[in-house]
Structure 1
């Protein structure tokens, strides 16, 4: 964790600024809502005054134009007017519901919760009670802060994922650069080893020794080639998947502990698949070594090749401690490892080689306390 104050200060300023901006927006929206509600209340009180004049007027009285205009002007606020004799008059309410007493009682209760009723009195006499709800504009305004916060959240999420993706891209470039530089640095001592091995061949030593040295030098060349290809698109050519798998498997078998029992089984002798042998062998090596580590250097490693229509499945099984089902997907993420000294890059590289470079699939086929089976699926070259 980085506790550098210089790096934390800009983030803290951005966080505080964002909090202040959101708080100001919410405060301003709330103030506007209250002000709008007060203005609607004033409009309803004016309407109630006009209604009071109407209730006191007789049929032959001539009401002023202003009173009539006020009564006719309200076309947005839903209202229920309950006269002293119990009769009900509605305004801006659904026409098919104005005669439904249960509906009106429910609306009156709702309007009471939204706004304080206005009592229409004249000279000490109670004439009517006006119940009114929030207008459509006011109701929409209530959800404005939620919509605004959602927009801000989505905008922040886009920015977050942009910077996260950008950072991941920079890290990938860094790792690719380090891998290529490592491959370059290994090249020099490799050339020297080749020369020294040629000199050893001229000495009176067991030829098997120089042969094994040649194999190890060849292996180092393969590793160098692997690292040099990280970060670039590898070339895929038709290869026999059975031969490539067996070669990688046999190499590991000869250089592993005698406490490990290796078995190889295949249902066919030859299957053509578009491969980059160097990277594919790296995949088999990582899966086998993971199995050996899971068994703590003692147990069985079994590799099986099974045709499956347009695909071929390569199964790598071990008798290790197993993987929890909840970790079936996360084990392929970079940095995830159960080893005390592991970096958690092996299975991440395997997934990238299989799925991104070879357009195949890799998954945990099964796992329990008796062992784990990993499955690679690649399309057959037809």
Structure 2
């Protein structure tokens, strides 16, 4: 509103100045005509013409003959060290510019002999005319900077919340996990439980809990990236997930590349992302279906696709599903995909997004990593 009022007010001022400059040139032309047609030496008329000349300090004016040859000029800055021929060319070029802006003023000082006055807008008028544009650009830049500052502040606040939550979760898990490790060691020392297969499974799950705690403690710090064999990492994630899902859901790993693809990742965090994507696919398939994980290397990028045969995702939700708290489950927290995006984009410098999805046919999530 303020910008619109300012632009309207400035345009009014520009119109008034333009009309004032035109009146000044018209008055100068009339005074000049009266002076050259007056037969007697009138001191008052001479004084009036001099005053009109002095009053015009801004409007560029060229006086020319009927053929357009310059006779005199005012308020024009000529190039330095210019000769008479160059001066004539420069003034004729200016006359061409002036013709496009304003109609010239013609007058006869002797019957049959006419002079022409050419003029154009002053520098001040042009500056005022473009001032609204400059003002609009300036205000737009200010709004953009304010938005960027606000967005950066909001992201920083979100980062602090994420880090605080992750660190506190790791801290809360640490104490009972230490106790569980101690109990397992105690049971292993007991002859009655030493060879029990349940103890081995318990040990695997407690180790898994340790990995989860390590993941939470890693969030917020600078993760260490190491060269890892991608196929082996994916295989480990799949083996872990397969034991915890229905036998009616099959997970396959395929690749179009016949070479070992190595990628710089933080393995615990990357495993978390793959498990989150697979669990998301499992939830979308209602107990039966297929998950296909494919990967390949293209130029400087490693592409990983996780496809399922689930219910699909509406196109309007492609971005929303990565927002914290978004979930379609009654008891879900809506943090899995949000954390996955943070891990891939913030810690690995990659991208994660919904590559495609069709209702009742399935979805494909794509992860891009630097190769």
Please, what TM-score do these two structures have when normalized by structure 1? 0.69
Question: Is the 1:259–1:299 Cα contact (8 Å) retained in structure 2?
Answer: yes
What is the RMSD computed on CA atoms of the aligned residues? Answer: 4.6
* Residue 339 (structure 1) aligns with: 328
* Residue 372 (structure 1) aligns with: 363
* Residue 80 (structure 2) aligns with: none
Cα gap change, 1:149/1:264 in structure 2, threshold over 3 Å: closer, same or farther?
closer
Query: Deviation per CA, 1:28-56, whole angstroms, max 9, x where unpaired?
Result: 74675466457546634642551452365
Question: Is the 1:362–1:377 Cα contact (8 Å) retained in structure 2?
Answer: yes
Q: How does 1:1-382 map to 2 (within 5 A)?
A: 29=10, 33=14, 36=17, 40=21, 43-44=24-25, 46-47=27-28, 50-51=31-32, 53-54=34-35, 56-58=37-39, 61-64=40-43, 65-70=46-51, 72=53, 74=56, 76=59, 95=92, 107-108=102-103, 134-201=121-188, 202=190, 204=192, 207-265=196-254, 271-306=261-296, 312-324=302-314, 330=319, 333-335=322-324, 337=326, 339=328, 344-369=334-359, 370-378=361-369
Unaligned runs of 5+ in 1: 1-18, 82-87, 112-116, 118-129
CA distance in 1, matches of 2:259, 2:91: 80
Question: Is the 2:102–2:119 Cα contact (8 Å) retained in structure 1?
Answer: no
Unaligned runs of 5+ in 2: 74-89, 106-116
Question: Is the 2:99–2:118 Cα contact (8 Å) retained in structure 1?
Answer: no
Query: Deviation per CA, 1:189-221, whole angstroms, max 9, x where unpaired?
Result: 112222333455538568222222222211111
Please, what TM-score do these two structures have when normalized by structure 2? 0.71
Count of residues in correspondence between the two structures = 339
Cα gap change, 1:148/1:245 in structure 2, threshold over 3 Å: closer, same or farther?
same
Shift of 1:71: 6.1
| Partner secondary structure for residue 221 of structure 2 | coil
Question: Is the 2:59–2:120 Cα contact (8 Å) retained in structure 1?
Answer: no
Cα gap change, 1:270/1:156 in structure 2, threshold over 3 Å: closer, same or farther?
closer
Shift of 1:366: 4.0
